[in-house]
Structure 1
Amino acid sequence: MRRSLAILSLILSLAVPIAAPARESLTIGLSQYPVTLNPLIESMLAKTYVLAFVHRPITAYDPSWTLVCLLCETLPTLENGLARIETLPGGKKGIAVTYALKADARWGDGTPVSSADVAFTWTVGRHPRSGVSNSELFNRITRVEILDARRFTLHFDRVTFDYNAINDLRLLPAHIERPRFEAAPESYRTQTAYEQDSTNPGLYNGPYRIAGLERGSHILLVRNPHWSGPRPGFDRIQIRTIENSAAMEAHLLSGGVDMIAGELGLPLEQALALEKRQGSRFTFITRPGLVYEHLDVNLSSPILADRRVRRALLAALDRDGLTRQLFDGRQPVAATMVPQLDWVFAEDVPAAKYDPAAASALLDEAGWRSGPGGIRVNAQGDKLALELLTTAGNRSRELVAQVIQAQWRKVGIDLKLRTEPPRVMFGDTVSQRKFPHLAMFAWYSAPESVPRSTLHSTLIPTAANNWAGQNYPGYASPKMDALLDAIEIETDRPRRKALWRDLQRLYAEDLPALPLYFRADPFILPKGMSGLSPTGHQDPSPYWVEQWRWD
């Protein structure tokens, strides 16, 4: 503890105090740096957060969890006639959904955002070697019908309950990206202009554009002169990456950053302690949300492929005690990946209870008997040794990992802890399934977000599909696939909720990931700043940055 305090004191002494933040600028602390800035490649939250200032999706969920248009004029519905059921060859039902892009939408170089961008983005998204992180939406669109420069109809191969939510169709500027993609689709993820020409104004269509960056350090945003929406309140915004949470706090107190992003900032317990000491200096906002902290399990491991072992690991964890002691009970224990705040949450699927005796019995049954030094061994004499990977610099996760290590040691499991910088962990290790056993991180989701990309067997990342998909555990269950398929096309809410219940029960039985808790994210803002509304889901607060103001 003395060493940690000394390091924090040194950081504070080296930080150069600056004057109160000027009205024309804002500096934001973020705990991770994006692996890429391409809207379709990788699923890292740091990228989503940064792009929210500079790039608008066609649709998104707002802070009240309502689906709204951001780049379109009117949200299509069956009721307003902009969506219509159509019969596909063979008699199957599909749906045609028509959107109109905002007439004044422009890329940062003045080029209009057009239907041609939609068609090109669809081409990239459905290409089997493009390396996009989530190709499911693009594969369901059988045809993009261009009606004119701004209006287009998407023809889907099925009717889903969320037919008009195309949040994942994040447009690429065809006039810049098309030559790079067509030259070599399989190399597009590294040849994209977002990677090689990141400050090109034509890549961005939001209220800001990226004017400068230093990889791993910071990104500078300036106003986009071709933005036609409300004028943003700051001439420039700097997003600074500070991966160590103690250093993040020190930079806030010294004036190195004006605010800390709630989406990727301080852990809750650190923010609560800071609020007690500095509550008069800053505005603290904490909103519970759809943020699922968990342990992804690599099911390719012979040890973890045994469901009895996975159930034992969960039974050996005192998650109630962990959240009570570390987070003041403000982060509820997760039964599955569906949070209590979501209307499809199944109350009769209880969270697994802390039961070391049951954990020991399951490990005995799986062939792991007590061995020398209390560590379990199998019949061949191999130790029950696992590795847990998580993000470096996140004090909360490091504490949780130490608790897990100690609790599993009590039932005879030898757990090695390892950390990696987020840009390495998410850019390569997790996305290419290189972690040997367990990886601790969080998934953000939208309201009633069907977890197809993380659970469907067709979305396991492999070299063959250029590491597309987010099913990092490698979970393949025909029952789960069938439930995911059924939920998406069930438009009757009571019947859909019943399917969701079945899905949660199966998840709790199979444990493709080990649920920990649902996070409540703390936003720390400068006094006098207004207009920021935490969303509590995967569409981050900067989608409405033009509402941020100094009072």
Structure 2
Amino acid sequence: MAKVETLAGGKRGIAATYTLRADARWADGKPVTSDDVVFSWEVGRHPQSGVAAAELFRRITRVEVKDARTFTLHVDKLTFDYNAINDLRLLPAHIEGPRFKSAPAEYRNRTAYDQDSTNPGLYNGPYRITSVVQGSHVVLEPNAHWGGAKPAFRRIVVKAIENTASLEANLLSGGIDMIAGELGLPLEQSLAFEKRHGARFAVITKPSLTYEHLDINLGSPILAVPEIRRALLLGLDRETISRQLFEGRQIVAESLVPPLDWVFAADLPKATFDPARAAVLLDQAGWKPGPGGIRVNAKGERLSLELVTTAGNRSRELVAQVMQSQWKKIGVELRLKTEPPRVLFGDTVTRRKFPHMALFAWYSAPESVPRSMLHSSMIPNGANNWSGQNYTGYASPAMDRLIDAVEVEPDKDKRRLLWREIQALYAADLPALPLFFRSDSFILPKGLKGLEPTGHQDPSPYWVENWRWE
């Protein structure tokens, strides 16, 4: 149940009432209650918690507890998706409460999920974690207190394999049974795998909303210049990269909104490969051809940039090498660096330590408002304990206004127009360089049924209770 509320100054908010399932229990047998909702909200809104989706929690001004299972969220803004609270992931107050209250600023580094991972009271889904071997694997076993459909498998082992060559080798040797598409083999590797082993495995390849791109550190004096960012994009032949590496199955991106989304603006101009125009822009920005074909500025400094991406991902490594070659032709030197994902996403990107560019992907959902990625209030820094995902440091009053407006516009036609402006401004400002929207390949044993690739940020294992063996 939801009711519009009039707030101070005539603003409109919303009071949305929810009721937890009567059979919702943590795996230690304790019920999931409204107290868990209140606690999760308190953690999320704390200025030192460092949660990525901090804005969601800040907008909830009050959690009104009706009873042990019923609660009302009072939100300070009436948004078009007011009833979507998928990012309000509940924490068990009876376990995490003492840890958080004793040291809020340190909580993100000392949660029970990190330090007591096999505690059954941390989980309320169909499975719970029963064993963790650092750097090797995690074991999941059924939650005896799960009230939904009974899961079919007595045990699921999730293995940590950091490079895609080893991932494929483990599948063929029987070390693992399947590779999920969300973080599995890159497309060109899975296509080759299907040709060789398609009779043995079921391979499902599906277009997704996953946005492969280059985040730009706009604090770099070189990349703060819009003309240079435009030249870099025009100097990339993304169509050829898609065709040669991915059999044309990676859709070239023009902004962060995928063509599969109903708000995609198909009429906006495309940034097609134009190295001649890229050279003109670099000339105008003061970077002239220099020794060895690399451009230099008036001080004699080389136009040299560093790109960091995930180690062990063959697809990204190939794309980065092609970009290095293509940019060299317009006089830009690109230095390549790889880091393990736990380092890249645990420190380098989240704390904005990359000097120039970071190559990675965003998982998205249909009509997902990019506040966390593009709003100026979402730039991570020490003061907000590195919360927010605006890793580029993009600060545009015009973009802020559009994001604020699209969130509260209930009319779909008007909202589509605002989305068009967001895409146009993104393509003009280029806080990031768009590359592709990925197609993901799921490689499954023939007998596994019930796994449905989603194509968006909610991964297929969310519905693991539907998996069956036939």
State the TM-score, normalized to the length of structure 2: 0.99
Q: Distance in 2 between matches of 1:226 and 1:314?
A: 52
Q: Distance in 2 between matches of 1:396 and 1:545?
A: 28
Q: Distance in 2 between matches of 1:305 and 1:504?
A: 20
Counterparts of residues 99-138 of structure 1 (less than 5 Å): 99-138=18-57
Counterpart of 1:493 in structure 2 is 412
1:208-230 CA distances to partner (integer Å, 9 max, x unpaired)? Answer: 10111122221111111111111
Counterparts of residues 156-175 of structure 1 (less than 5 Å): 156-175=75-94
Counterpart of 1:363 in structure 2 is 282
Decide which moves more: 517-526 or 238-247. Answer: 238-247
Q: CA deviation at 1:84?
A: 1.1
Does residue 1:545 correspond to 2:425, yes or no?
A: no
1:163-192 CA distances to partner (integer Å, 9 max, x unpaired)? Answer: 000011000000011111110111111121
Counterpart of 2:324 in structure 1 is 405
Aligned partner of 2:100: which letter? F
Contact 1:333 1:351 in 2 (8 A): no
Aligned partner of 1:318: which letter? D
Counterpart of 1:387 in structure 2 is 306
Counterpart of 2:200 in structure 1 is 281
Does residue 1:211 correspond to 2:130, yes or no?
A: yes
Q: Distance in 2 between matches of 1:450 and 1:390?
A: 25
Does residue 1:188 correspond to 2:107, yes or no?
A: yes
Counterparts of residues 210-229 of structure 1 (less than 5 Å): 210-229=129-148
Q: Distance in 1 between matches of 2:138 and 2:31?
A: 25
Contact 1:334 1:351 in 2 (8 A): no
Does residue 1:373 correspond to 2:292, yes or no?
A: yes
Aligned partner of 2:461: which letter? P
Counterpart of 2:362 in structure 1 is 443
Does residue 1:338 correspond to 2:271, yes or no?
A: no
Aligned residue pair count: 470
Counterpart of 2:434 in structure 1 is 515
Q: CA deviation at 1:90?
A: 2.2
Does residue 1:306 correspond to 2:232, yes or no?
A: no
Q: Where has structure 1 moved over 2 Å in runs of 4 or more?
A: none
Counterparts of residues 1-150 of structure 1 (less than 5 Å): 82-150=1-69
Match of 1:145, SS state, is: strand
Q: CA deviation at 1:89?
A: 2.1
Q: Distance in 2 between matches of 1:222 and 1:110?
A: 15
Contact 1:199 1:211 in 2 (8 A): yes
Contact 1:385 1:415 in 2 (8 A): yes
Corresponding residue to 1:528 among 447, 452, 457: 447
Q: Distance in 2 between matches of 1:438 and 1:221?
A: 37
Aligned partner of 2:290: which letter? G
Contact 1:336 1:351 in 2 (8 A): no
Q: Distance in 1 between matches of 2:35 and 2:332?
A: 56
Counterpart of 1:295 in structure 2 is 214
Counterpart of 1:484 in structure 2 is 403
Q: CA deviation at 1:351?
A: 2.7
Q: Distance in 1 between matches of 2:352 and 2:416?
A: 32
Counterpart of 1:54 in structure 2 is none
Q: CA deviation at 1:158?
A: 1.0
Does residue 1:255 correspond to 2:168, yes or no?
A: no
1:383-439 CA distances to partner (integer Å, 9 max, x unpaired)? Answer: 100000000000000000000000000011110000000011000110000000000
Match of 1:464, SS state, is: helix
Corresponding residue to 1:416 among 335, 340, 343: 335
Structure 2, unaligned stretches of length 5 or more? none
Q: Distance in 1 between matches of 2:122 and 2:356?
A: 38
Q: Distance in 1 between matches of 2:257 and 2:64?
A: 36
Match of 1:351, SS state, is: coil
Q: Distance in 2 between matches of 1:217 and 1:412?
A: 43
1:414-465 CA distances to partner (integer Å, 9 max, x unpaired)? Answer: 1000000001100011000000000000000111000000000000000111
Q: Distance in 2 between matches of 1:217 and 1:296?
A: 30
Match of 1:143, SS state, is: strand
Q: Distance in 1 between matches of 2:321 and 2:381?
A: 31
RMSD over aligned Cα, in angstroms?
0.6
Structure 1, unaligned stretches of length 5 or more? 1-81
Q: Percent identity?
A: 69
Aligned partner of 1:304: which letter? L
Q: Distance in 1 between matches of 2:375 and 2:134?
A: 33
Aligned partner of 2:174: which letter? G
1:32-71 CA distances to partner (integer Å, 9 max, x unpaired)? Answer: xxxxxxxxxxxxxxxxxxxxxxxxxxxxxxxxxxxxxxxx
Q: Distance in 1 between matches of 2:355 and 2:75?
A: 38
State the TM-score, normalized to the length of structure 1: 0.85
Decide which moves more: 454-463 or 90-99. Answer: 90-99
